[in-house]
Amino acid sequence: MAGNSIGKLFKLTTFGESHSDFVGGVIDGCPSGLKIDLDFIEKEVQRRKPQQEGYSTQRKEEDKVEFISGIENGISLGTPIAFIIQNKNIKKQDYNHLKDLFRPSHGDFTYYNKYGISSSSGGGRASARETLTRVIGGGIAKLILREYGIEVSGEIHSIGKWEYARNREEIEKELEKIVENGDSLGGIVSCRIKNCPIGLGEPVFDKLSADLAKAIMSIPASKGFEIGDGFASTTKYGSEQLDNWNNDFTTKTNHCGGIQAGISNGMEINIKAGFKPIASLYRKVECIDKEGELYNIENSGRHDRCFIPRAVVVVEAMVALVIADHLLRNFTNKINR
């Protein structure tokens, strides 16, 4: 199975399935001498954990990270940093009734047809459980960015059709409704990168915007990516989208979202990531078997009804991984005299 790594100079490779004994990762290319703030990594992991009873998965994992190489006395050695996390709260029996069935809008069907076999429980590599390894890798990336004063911060932009900052009461009612109806909700996470230096990005196929889009679209349930004004810019005149100069080479506006021609321009980079509702519903759904027979099956297991609050730190992690990689790559672009 290819496609389990992201980055070129700063690379994260992850492994493990939803109900395997462990999930984990290997970070290659982390410079030596970096102070690894384990308390910070732990806080990042905690941010991803289920928070609100009723709306998040009832699966409770300890998520204790064990670093097994690449760090000595809290300092990176410059060698590969490997880490593992044990999966303890596993309930494979919740999926016994789904054996040989494909759930609608899940990866069961596509994984089986691609590989000839798929995980017998949970979502396997398609499960949101896999995002834990991204958060840990992204935490290391954030520590690198911290050395250069670069800050990555995300927040909930919307849940369902409601803007999060303005419509908390409506959102709460919607969340109560999906709990009652066994349904789910998606939403949008926004993310900002502050103090990003000018010059990150490798045209033409490794543009910073392109790599950010790929990173975001690799997150489970992601369905949309915008940078700057995004799709709204398609309805404007060119004269309305110009980011005119100030004398210090900043711009009066930031319609482009901090990236021009695939290269960071020194302004704040702002993106949005859109996520569809989780496909695992707490109600009967129509599944299909390998012979094409349809069955109405009561879905079970432990699933998020709304993943958006937990997705914020995942989005930040993917952004940090991309920025850290491009920061290190940028050091190789020219001789500084």
* Tokens, residue 70: 């690449």
CA 144/CA 36 separation, integer angstroms: 9
pLDDT tens figures, 19-43 = 888 999 999 999 999 999 999 999 9
- pLDDT at 20 (0 to 100): 85
Give residue-wise pLDDT tens across range 248-305: 999 999 999 999 999 999 999 999 999 999 998 988 999 999 999 999 988 766 678 9
Please give the structure tokens belonging to residue 283.
């109600």
Tell me the pTM.
Answer: 0.95
Query: How sure is the predictor about 117, in pLDDT bands with cuts at 50, 70 and 90?
Result: confident
Kindly state the percentage of the chain with pLDDT values over 70.
92
Question: What per-residue confidence (pLDDT) applies to 99?
Answer: 78
- Mean pLDDT in residue range 10-22: 92
**Residue 101 burial (CB < 10 Å; 0-12/13-18/19+)?**
middle
Task: Please determine, for residue 244, whether its predicted confidence score (pLDDT) is greater than 60.
Answer: yes
Q: What residue has token string 């908390």?
A: 168
For 287, residues 6+ apart whose C-beta sits below 8 A from its C-beta are 98, 101, 102, 103, 104, 294, 295, 296, 297
**pLDDT at residue 59 above 60?**
no
Q: Is the pLDDT of residue 75 over 90?
A: yes
Which residues, 6+ apart, have CB-to-CB distance to 242 below 8 Å?
253, 255
pLDDT at 88: 82
Domains present along the chain, CATH in parentheses:
5-330 (3.60.150.10)
